[in-house]
Structure 1
Amino acid sequence: MYLGNTAKGVKEAYERNFKVHQGMSIGGLRLCRQEVSLCEEMGLGERRGPFTFPVPIVLPYSIKIYFRLYIIAGGMSFAPGDLWLISAPNEGSPQETWDKLNRTTNNMSVNYKFNVPDLKVGTLDQLVGLSDDLAKLDTAAEQVTRKLTQYFADVLEDEQDKLQENLVVSGKDVKTYVTKFQWESAKYPLKQSLKLLSDIIGKQITQIDNDLKTKSTTYNNLKNTLASIDRKATGSLLTKDLSEIVKADDFILNSEYLQTLLVVIPKTLAKEWQRKYETLSDMVVPGSSRLITEDGDQMLFSVTLFKKVIDEYKAHCRENKFIVRDFVYDEESLKIGRNERDKLVQEKQRQYAPLVRWLKINFGEIFSAFVHVKALRVFVESVLRYGLPVNFQATVIEPNKNSHKKLRAALHNLYLHLDTSAAGPIEAIEDNPILMSLGMHDYYPYVFFKINIDFTSMKR
């Protein structure tokens, strides 16, 4: 089939706001499937436009190449914590293919064989549909992994330096787990179809995400309540909890007529307070004001007066910038408050160890699921690109520092012959704004995904 007719058609397609971006494989593959189904219904191996959607390349394509064009993984931005997962068909023996890759990337990367088992292929239509599903599952797995890791760091609080040592998968650190990946058949039986394996992993991701929400909500409520109590013990005399500052001797207690008030005075008004406090209303006990404590530029005084004039006294205090704290000394209530905090501290300590253990175990589970999704994706995309029988080599590539661009060019040149839909030299793609805007910077003549292994940095 022909995808469009001229470069002008491509430009018009772009102007109609068809933008291929990170999520294009979801919509693109769906439309791709529609076009191929139409070709099959018409009995055509090829078809010239018009098509139901614009396309970025103006070359003749077979149905097979049409599939290839739209099998594109999500975002392709790179960071120091990324490994590259690629696959290419074996040309000659598997060892010859491996040696050729290593010669090409010499001094630019460290390469590791990525062991993808013999999985059930299914039909072409199933593979295309699964490609969409796995792209979504890949995103979900990475998001939950990051969410869990960041919450793990929050839980560790002052011991966040111990986070990395707790991020283990089957007894290995994350990089070792990826570079020495072995399919876990006990969790994901090879006799099952690709769709069922995808569903198993999807349910696992959802379960971990739901459990994380439940556990984090419970623990966070406890932390927040405790933090709220502790905040009240800090701050200025205007806001802090006074129960740990005052004592029973500071008050007239159990009196039918008298009550002691606590008043916060700016230090600059201390002399004015001493001069005025007895005259702010009638029925103030002479000489009853006592300095209880001072903090920064504020002082806390007590004053005793008759209960019947309290409202009037408070009003006159406000007029003079003397702040009366609403505080009633009750030994029983204060004791209950102190006991409540102690109980919260004990409950937090009780929940801490099991929560850390759960986070450690489930980081391993979610990261393992994440990498198994990558394995499924590389298998599905390799079959769609390279056809049957299944005969490809998957490789994890760890780019050397400052070698990303050279490495990408070397891989492009090595595998350019695999797909005539690749838009020429990689520099030509980067210099063509139309192709770049249509997502071709994300398309390579070989299967490519990135694997993020840095979940301890800020969200990228």
Structure 2
Amino acid sequence: MTEFWLISAPGEKTCQQTWDKMMAATTRTNNLSVNHKFSIPDLKVGTLDVLVGLSDELAKLDSFVESVVKKVAQYMADVLEDSRDKVQENLLANGVDLITYITRFQWDMAKYPIKQSLKNISEIISKQVTQIDNDLKARASAYNNLKGNLQNLERKNAGSLLTRSLADIVKKENFVLDSEYLITLLVVVPKTSYPDWQKTYETLAEMVVPRSSNLLFEDSDSGLFSVTLFRKAIDDFKHKARENKFTVRDFQYNEEEMKADKEEMTRLSTDKKKQFVNLKHLESHFLDSTSCGFLVF
């Protein structure tokens, strides 16, 4: 990591003489450092009382600006997620990397007019950084909500057959639908119990349709079977299934609900990807907050 020091040197008759003396002391004989001029315009310094009064405020503002710069960088890392190795290349100021920006720093006369008093300039900086912080909080909150909702849906579509969503597993043809008397249930059976299921499912309750069970899906531990029976036998079947360590999933095939869930997943994924588009906005925030940091310093 490159380390930078901002230093002031005792003044000679001209700034150039001061620069030449510092260069001679630090680079020409012993290569202690690589030096760059850090140009600061002639500001309205005011009286000593004004400077003393500003010192505490500027110290607080400096800490605040630093915290906002770190928040912007962290939020950018959060948005990039698996591409965090690209964070550094996105942390740009005026389109250049931070080292270039620091070593070629120029005061923005338009944003921070030097005809203004130091107090006014500090207030301009404080207002700007506060706006950045508020915008960042709103964006971070919206992003975290979006991310949380998407993760909840993703969790529903993953994990054990005992808990995961079945919407992307089952098909319409797996069910007896719109029947007054018959219903299709979905049962999770441990793989070690497949033989027991095949032997017993028709006799777990009366009115189970013979040879109606089909294996629809399986993971590393269990399989999802369908079975069709008369509606009046549901409670008895569930009770006997539980005794045999077969788990009847509480599931009703509803095409509209399943379609809505898939559309919601697609929408959330799309909205999350849109956050990458906002990186340019974050870069602008990073530039502004970084600039403010140097101005306060």
3-state SS of the aligned residue for 1:305? strand
Q: Hey, what does 1:133 align to over in structure 2?
A: 57
C-alpha distance in 2, partners of 1:268/1:244?
A: 25
**Partner Cα distance (2:210, 2:225) in 1:** 14
Q: What residue is the counterpart of 1:441 in the other structure? A: none
Q: Are 1:213 and 2:134 matched, yes or no?
A: no
Whether 1:267 and 2:191 are equivalent positions in the alignment is yes
| Cα drift, residue 352 of structure 1 | 4.0
Q: Alignment partner of 2:186: what SS?
A: strand
Q: Partners of 2:239 and 2:23 in 1: how far apart? A: 84
Q: Which residue of 1 aligns with 2:112?
A: 188
Aligned-partner SS, 1:299 = strand
Q: Deviations over 1:106-133 (max 9, x none)?
A: 3221111211221112232321221111
Cα distance in 1 for residues equivalent to 2:39 and 2:46: 20
Which residue is 1:97 aligned to? 18
* 1:283-432 equivalence runs, <5 A: 283-350=207-274, 352-353=276-277, 355-374=278-297
In structure 2, C-alpha distance between the alignment counterparts of 1:182 and 1:332, rounded to whole Å: 59
User: Which residue of structure 2 aligns with residue 85 of structure 1?
Assistant: 6
Aligned equivalents of 2:78, 2:275: Cα separation in 1: 14
Q: Deviations over 1:324-367 (max 9, x none)?
A: 212111122222222333333344445542x1221122211111
Task: Give distance in 1, aligned partners of 2:99 and 2:276.
Answer: 27
CA RMSD of aligned residues (A): 2.1
CA distance in 1, matches of 2:155, 2:235: 29
SS in 1 for 2:81: helix
1:255 to 167, 170, 179: 179
**Structure 1: how far apart are the matches of 2:272 and 2:194?**
43
Distance 1:301 1:124 in 2: 84
Gap change, CA 1:81 and 1:309, over 3 Å in 2: farther
Pairs within 5 Å for 1:443-454: none
Q: Which residue of structure 2 lines up, in the alignment, with residue 396 of structure 1?
A: none
User: What amino acid does structure 2 have at the position aligned with 1:344?
Assistant: L
Query: Using the alignment, how far apart are the partners of 1:351 and 1:98 within structure 2?
Result: 46
| Structure 2 CA distance for aligned equivalents of residues 173 and 118 of structure 1 | 27
Candidates 225, 230, 244, aligned match of 2:168 = 244
Q: Structure 1 340/93 Cα, relative in aligned 2: closer, same or farther at 3 Å?
A: closer
- What is the CA distance between 1:286 and its match in structure 2? 2.5
Structure 2 residue aligned with 1:109 = 33
**What TM-score do the two structures reach when normalised by structure 1?**
0.60
| Separation (CA, whole Å) in 1 of partners of 2:236 and 2:58 | 72
Shift of 1:321: 2.0
Structure 1 runs not aligned, ≥5 long: 1-79, 375-460
Q: Secondary structure at the match of 2:6?
A: strand
For residues 86 and 202 of structure 1, the distance between their equivalents in structure 2, rounded to whole angstroms, comes to 24
1:232: which partner in 2?
156
State the 1:147 CA deviation.
Answer: 1.0
Superposed CA deviations along residues 283-326 of structure 1, whole A, max 9, x for unmatched, are 32232221112111211111222223323332332332222212
1 CA distance for matches of 2:122 and 2:294? 12
Match of 2:70 among 142, 146, 149: 146
**Who is 2:93 aligned against?**
169
**1:77 aligned residue:** none
Conserved? CA contact 2:188–2:224, under 8 Å: yes
Corresponding residue for residue 413 of structure 1: none
Deviation at 1:168, TM superposition (A): 2.1
1:215 deviates by 1.9
CA–CA separation in structure 1 for the residues paired with 2:103 and 2:113: 21
Structure 2 counterpart SS, 1:87: coil
**Which one-letter code corresponds to 1:365 in the other structure?**
D
SS in 2 for 1:99: helix
Give the drift of 1:98: 2.6
Counterpart amino acid of 1:89? P
Amino acid of the structure 1 residue aligned with 2:236: E
Residue 244 of structure 1 deviates from its aligned partner by 1.2
Distance in 2 separating the partners of 1:172 and 1:186: 20
Question: Per-residue displacement from partner, 1:232-277 (whole Å, max 9, x unpaired)?
Answer: 2222222222111111121111112222111111111111222222
Deviations 1:371-418 (A, max 9, x none): 1111xxxxxxxxxxxxxxxxxxxxxxxxxxxxxxxxxxxxxxxxxxxx
User: Which structure has more RCO (C-alpha within 8 Å, separation ≥ 6)?
Assistant: 1
Distance 1:195 1:348 in 2: 41
Please give the alpha-carbon distance, in whole angstroms, between the structure 2 residues aligned to 1:300 and 1:109: 69
CA distance in 1, matches of 2:55, 2:240: 75
Q: Is residue 9–residue 22 contact of structure 2 (8 Å, CA) maintained in 1? A: no
Q: Aligned partners of 2:256, 2:35: CA distance in 1, in Å?
A: 69
User: 1:95, 1:348 → 2: CA distance?
Assistant: 52
> Tell me, what secondary structure is at the counterpart of 1:191?
coil
Flag the 1:344–1:94 CA change in 2: closer, same or farther, 3 A.
closer
Give the one of 266, 278, 281 matched to 2:205. 281
Q: 1:81 to 1:298 in 2, by over 3 A?
A: farther
Length-normalised TM-score, structure 2 = 0.90
Amino acid at match of 2:152: S
Distance 1:93 1:347, change over 3 A: closer
